């Protein structure tokens, strides 16, 4: 499985570059990258030259400012046909290799995405698996002006993984949008 980190956002609500914000001793970018260590290839979708991590390739966002759906398009577009990609937003610092392995266990033939659900039942499309065959649908939605990741799920063959089946810590999907949301 390939790994894709979506790190091209402007961090407006955060007030500074959230990918470089530190939680514990690691930046949010390093924490997410650590959860994807087993993935090959490993891609960071962000403006050229913005981030550098050993073993990770930078992929420019082909539609800057268009949101995570556009970032997914850039990431999937940089991959070889026929493979699955783990896709994570940079602001999900509690994801783990164990979570990704659990999600990968739900891959089924003929599906295009595997998406976990939080304890409150919401799909988490920014911490999900996508097959490269979903790329034409992503591109078509973007060309139609759609920017919501949730809209993508309405157009794909999706395996939905309920919270109970994930058996993970409650804070797994806690995302960091504002500086005050960084845990102490």
CB 68 within 8 A of CB 89: yes
Return d(Cα 83, Cα 129) in angstroms, integer.
10
pLDDT at 87: 97
Q: Choose between 81 and 180: higher pLDDT.
A: 81
All structural domains of the chain, each given as residue ranges with its CATH number in brackets, are 2-178 (3.90.550.10)
Query: HSE on the CB side for 115, CA within 13 Å?
Result: 21
Of the listed ranges 43-47, 51-55, 111-115, 179-183, the one predicted with least confidence: 179-183
- In 7-145, which residue ranges form alpha helices assigned H by DSSP? 28-35, 68-77, 97-104, 135-143
CB 2 within 8 A of CB 40: yes
Query: How do residues 122-159 score in pLDDT, each as one tens digit?
Result: 999 999 999 999 999 999 999 999 999 999 999 999 99
Look-up: residue for tokens 């993984």?
161
Region 71-84: mean pLDDT is: 97
Q: Work out the pLDDT band at 110, boundaries 50, 70, 90.
A: very high
Residue 12 pLDDT > 70, yes or no? no
Q: 57-94: buried (b, 16+ CB within 10 Å) or exposed (e) per residue?
A: ebbebbeeebbbbbbbbbbbebbeeeebbbbbbbbbbb
- 168: tokens are 């993970």
Return d(Cα 18, Cα 11) in angstroms, integer.
6
């Amino acid at each position: 499985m390939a790994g894709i980190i979506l790190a091209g956002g402007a961090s407006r609500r955060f007030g500074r570059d959230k990918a470089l914000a530190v939680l514990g001793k690691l930046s949010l970018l390093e924490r997410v990258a650590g959860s994807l260590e087993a993935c090959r290839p490993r891609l960071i979708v962000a403006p050229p030259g913005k981030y550098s991590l050993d073993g990770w390739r930078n992929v420019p966002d082909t539609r800057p400012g268009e949101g995570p759906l556009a970032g997914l398009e850039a990431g999937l577009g940089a991959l070889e046909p026929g493979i699955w990609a783990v896709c994570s937003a940079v602001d999900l610092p509690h994801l783990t290799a164990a979570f990704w392995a659990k999600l990968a266990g739900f891959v089924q033939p003929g599906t295009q995405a595997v998406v976990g659900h939080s304890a409150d039942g919401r799909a988490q499309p920014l911490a999900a698996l996508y097959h490269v065959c979903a790329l034409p649908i992503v591109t078509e939605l973007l060309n139609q002006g759609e920017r919501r990741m949730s809209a993508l799920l309405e157009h794909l063959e999706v395996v939905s993984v309920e919270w109970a089946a994930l058996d993970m810590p409650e804070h797994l999907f806690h995302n960091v949008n504002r500086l005050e949301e960084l845990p102490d």
